[in-house]
């Protein structure tokens, strides 16, 4: 193969001439000694030849080789970055400028409540709720909800509410850069200095959102100016047993829409009231209608006066506090508008007169049919003798048709004191027993450190003596004793004993009845409940079954629910309520002994009975009789 010859001169084609192929005869070159410096070039040429020649030893025509630049990848990379940035810029511009892609900011929604924060109870106040949409998109399906402070009574609003409770408004759409307000007027009630809160919620859906959002606002308000004041006056000092009078004065300070006030006096345990003017209600309070004209003057009063008269009994206390609270009510809630208190220093008298009933010097509970065992004890601790002493026992009791709950016809009093009945009100009757020196000779003169005592018994009527269902007033018996005497100067004094309040609960009774058949293995037991006075609730009875026995219970139970725990052999009868119209309930229980044990004495244990009196609020908790084995 002929070795190609390269020339550095370009080939020039003559015009019109033909290029002819000529056979070239390769002549043998003479070997020349390479010159210094050309050796490196020769080696380079050989390396290039080895690189570029093909399998047949041909070298490419360099004139036909196209050389490409190697920066195309960088161009593509920078092109992508440029186009991406351009698209991002367009997207951001569209977010701000295109109507369907506006940016939402919750901070641009404003909701406020404006109105008085310190108010006078019972006065009319107006509060304005403002809402603003300070951005370039609308708020859809907007709704305003309001939670009023406790004691706020709605009167009106300039925009009609959606619901009857006047707590919800449909605002529909709130346009871009739009605002509005709702004015609500009402009467504010509340206790003095007690904070309450207005709570407002704006629910909406931004036009470019698929879900609801909410904005809230709150405003605290309090009653800082009570429209009425209360003052109490009374003795700064008093001797125990002596009468003490206290005056309660209510004064109007500001105009208000308050139509009803309640004045509740309070006193210590060792103080008992002998009279009140006007008479206290059965729950011990007075009622005032401040905007109602009185029948006597045909005008509306601005001052009201109330009085109580009572006595402090002997105790370890050196002083006693008489206080009162003035309330107003709204929506079944009570709010304290004013309070007052006065303190009386107590001096113990020189007589020790004590009253005990059924062994108690303090309050206790009883039931119709029970007997009151009453003891009076008087000891002269003064430095002088007592002359012409009179003892009196005063008992205020529930009554109906002028009939007392106490059975005075069956009283046991060996000194036969003089008795007198006084009807205090439709539901309260007072009974008094008086003993003087004609009844008890020792009362003519009681020497220094001398004493006198007496005992009486007085039953409480049961349903057979008095229809207990007719007693609709109080359920308490109040007892107190008095001693009257003359000192060495002939001055008469009257002192009182401790007061005892007896709460008369319902006449709830339990009886277990047992009827035996067969050879003594079958027992038909009945648990019987009777009740005639007050309704009962939460009645629970439980007992254990003894021996190898089978228990059969009625299904359904005559009242409530009955359950037998076979593992623990326990019967439980639960009754939610026993109304006044139901006077008897009975549960039949059939117990059959599978095997008679000669040493077994009881079939059913004592019954644990629990219940609650719905009138007095007191609870029964006692044990009923057991059922034995009759042989």
pLDDT of res. 11:
47
Q: How confident is the model at residue 196 (pLDDT cuts 50, 70, 90)?
A: confident
Task: Please check the confidence at residue 199 and state whether its pLDDT lies above 80.
Answer: yes
The CATH architecture that domain 351-504 belongs to is: Sandwich (2.60)
- Contact between 448 and 420 (Cβ < 8 Å): no
Spatial separation of the C-alpha atoms in residues 523 and 117, rounded to whole Å: 74
**Which residue from 186, 194, 254 is spatially nearest to 222, judged by alpha carbons?**
194
**Helix, strand, or coil (residue 79):** helix
pLDDT of res. 520:
78
pLDDT of res. 611:
97
What is 509-628's CATH topology?
Answer: Immunoglobulin-like (2.60.40)
Residue whose token pair is 């430095």 = 383
Q: Degrees (nearest 5) of the Cα angle 161, 165, 167? A: 55
- Contact between 267 and 274 (Cβ < 8 Å): no
- Contact between 123 and 254 (Cβ < 8 Å): yes
* Burial readout 134-158 (b: 16 or more C-beta within 10 A, e: otherwise): ebebbbeebbbbbebbebbeeeebe
Q: Degrees (nearest 5) of the Cα angle 195, 200, 206? A: 155
DSSP structure class, residue 535? -
Task: Please check the confidence at residue 21 and state whether its pLDDT lies above 60.
Answer: no
pLDDT of res. 94:
46
Cβ burial, residue 626 (10 Å; 0-12/13-18/19+): middle
Spatial separation of the C-alpha atoms in residues 540 and 609, rounded to whole Å: 6
Q: How confident is the model at residue 61 (pLDDT cuts 50, 70, 90)?
A: low
pLDDT of res. 20:
40
Spatial separation of the C-alpha atoms in residues 592 and 265, rounded to whole Å: 61
Q: Which residue has the higher pLDDT, 357 or 47?
A: 357
Q: 106-225: which CATH number, 3.40.50.1370, 2.30.40.10, 3.20.20.110, 2.60.40.10?
A: 2.60.40.10
- Sorted by where each begins, the domain ranges of the chain are 106-225, 228-347, 351-504, 509-628
Of the listed ranges 79-88, 400-409, 449-458, 581-590, the one predicted with least confidence:
79-88
Q: Is the peptide bond before 162 cis (omega within 30 degrees of 0)?
A: no
pLDDT in tens, 393-434: 999 999 998 999 999 999 999 999 999 999 988 889 999 999
What is the mean predicted confidence (pLDDT) over 105-132? 89
- Mean pLDDT of the residues in the chain: 84
**Which residue from 348, 417, 422, 338 is spatially nearest to 376, judged by alpha carbons?**
417
* Burial readout 245-272 (b: 16 or more C-beta within 10 A, e: otherwise): ebebebebeeebbbeebbbbbebbebbb
Task: Please check the confidence at residue 88 and state whether its pLDDT lies above 80.
Answer: no
Q: Do domains 106-225 and 351-504 have the same CATH topology?
A: yes
pLDDT of res. 573:
96
- Contact between 118 and 224 (Cβ < 8 Å): yes
Task: Calculate Rg over the CA atoms of the chain.
Answer: 53
Of the listed ranges 204-218, 522-536, 585-599, the one predicted with least confidence:
204-218
Task: Please check the confidence at residue 31 and state whether its pLDDT lies above 60.
Answer: no
How is residue 369 written in tokens?
Answer: 């049919």
Task: Please check the confidence at residue 498 and state whether its pLDDT lies above 80.
Answer: yes
Longest CA–CA separation in the chain, Å: 183
pTM over 0.75: no
Task: Please check the confidence at residue 9 and state whether its pLDDT lies above 50.
Answer: no
- Neighbouring C-alpha atoms within 13 Å toward the C-beta of 294: 9
Highest mean pLDDT among 20-29, 191-200, 567-576: 567-576
Q: N- to C-terminal Cα distance for the chain?
A: 146
Task: Please check the confidence at residue 127 and state whether its pLDDT lies above 50.
Answer: yes
What is the mean predicted confidence (pLDDT) over 127-133? 93
pLDDT of res. 604:
94
Alpha-carbon distances, residue 407 vs 366, 372, 506, 561, 566 (angstroms): 14, 10, 17, 38, 48
pLDDT of res. 295:
56
Spatial separation of the C-alpha atoms in residues 123 and 116, rounded to whole Å: 11
| CATH code, residues 228-347 | 2.60.40.10
- Contact between 185 and 157 (Cβ < 8 Å): yes
What is the mean predicted confidence (pLDDT) over 302-307? 93
- Contact between 126 and 115 (Cβ < 8 Å): yes
Highest mean pLDDT among 222-231, 236-245, 421-430: 421-430
pLDDT of res. 456:
96
pLDDT of res. 57:
60
Task: Please check the confidence at residue 79 and state whether its pLDDT lies above 70.
Answer: no
What is the mean predicted confidence (pLDDT) over 558-573? 94
How is residue 232 written in tokens?
Answer: 């109490």
pLDDT of res. 64:
54
Of the listed ranges 29-33, 110-114, 484-488, the one predicted with least confidence:
29-33
């Amino acid at each position: 193969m002929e070795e190609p010859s390269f020339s550095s001169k370009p080939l020039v084609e003559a015009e019109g001439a033909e290029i002819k192929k000529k056979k070239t005869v390769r002549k043998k070159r003479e070997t020349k000694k390479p010159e210094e410096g050309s050796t490196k070039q020769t080696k380079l040429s050989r390396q290039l030849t080895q690189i570029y020649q093909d399998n047949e030893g041909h070298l490419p025509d360099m004139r036909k080789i196209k050389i490409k630049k190697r920066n195309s990848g960088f161009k593509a990379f920078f092109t992508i970055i440029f186009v991406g940035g351009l698209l991002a810029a367009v997207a951001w511009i569209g977010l701000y400028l295109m109507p369907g892609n506006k940016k939402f900011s919750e901070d641009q929604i404003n909701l406020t409540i404006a109105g008085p924060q310190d108010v006078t109870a019972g006065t009319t106040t107006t509060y304005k709720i403002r809402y603003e949409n300070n951005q370039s998109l609308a708020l859809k399906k907007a709704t305003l909800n309001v939670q009023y402070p406790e004691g706020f009574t709605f009167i009106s609003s300039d925009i009609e509410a959606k619901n009857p409770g006047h707590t919800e408004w449909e605002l529909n759409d709130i346009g871009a850069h739009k605002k509005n307000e709702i004015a609500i007027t009402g009467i504010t009630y509340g206790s003095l200095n007690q904070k309450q809160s207005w709570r407002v919620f704006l629910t909406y859906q931004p036009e470019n959102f698929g879900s609801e959002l909410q904005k809230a606002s709150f405003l605290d308000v309090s009653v800082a100016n009570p429209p009425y004041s209360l003052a109490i006056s009374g003795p700064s000092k008093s001797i125990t047993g002596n009468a003490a009078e206290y005056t309660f004065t209510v004064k109007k300070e500001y105009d208000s829409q308050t139509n009803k006030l309640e004045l509740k006096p309070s006193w210590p345990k060792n103080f008992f009231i002998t009279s009140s003017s006007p008479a206290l209600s059965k729950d011990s309070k007075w009622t005032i209608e401040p905007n109602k004209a009185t029948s006597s003057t045909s005008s509306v009063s601005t001052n009201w006066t109330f009085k109580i008269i009572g006595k402090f009994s002997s105790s370890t206390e050196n002083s006693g506090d008489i206080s009162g609270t003035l309330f107003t009510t709204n929506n079944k809630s009570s709010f304290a508008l004013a309070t007052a208190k006065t303190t009386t220093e107590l001096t113990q008298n020189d007589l020790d007169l004590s009253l005990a009933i059924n062994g108690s010097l303090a309050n206790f509970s009883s039931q119709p049919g029970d007997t009151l065992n009453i003891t009076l004890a008087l000891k002269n601790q003064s430095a002088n003798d007592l002359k012409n002493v009179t003892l009196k026992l005063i008992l205020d009791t529930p009554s109906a048709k002028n009939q007392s709950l106490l059975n005075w016809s069956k009283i046991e009093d060996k000194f036969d004191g003089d008795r007198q009945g006084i009807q205090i009100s439709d539901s309260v009757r007072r009974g008094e027993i008086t003993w003087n020196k004609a009844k008890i000779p020792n009362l003519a003169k009681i020497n220094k450190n001398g004493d006198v005592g007496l005992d009486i018994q007085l039953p409480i009527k049961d349903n057979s003596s008095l229809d207990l269902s007719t007693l609709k007033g109080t359920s308490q018996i109040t007892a107190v004793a008095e001693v009257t005497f003359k000192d060495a100067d002939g001055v008469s004094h009257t002192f009182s004993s401790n007061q005892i309040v007896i709460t008369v609960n319902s006449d709830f009774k339990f009886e277990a009845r047992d009827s035996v058949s067969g050879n003594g293995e079958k027992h038909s037991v009945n648990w019987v409940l009777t009740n005639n006075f007050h309704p009962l609730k939460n009645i629970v009875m439980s007992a254990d079954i003894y021996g190898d026995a089978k228990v059969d219970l009625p299904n359904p139970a005559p009242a409530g629910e009955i359950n037998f725990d076979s593992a623990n052999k326990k019967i439980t009868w639960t009754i939610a309520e026993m109304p006044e119209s139901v006077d008897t309930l009975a549960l039949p229980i059939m117990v059959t002994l599978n095997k008679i044990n000669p040493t077994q004495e009881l079939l059913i244990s004592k019954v644990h009975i629990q219940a609650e009196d719905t009138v007095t609020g007191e609870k029964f908790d006692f044990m009923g009789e057991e059922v034995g084995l009759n042989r």
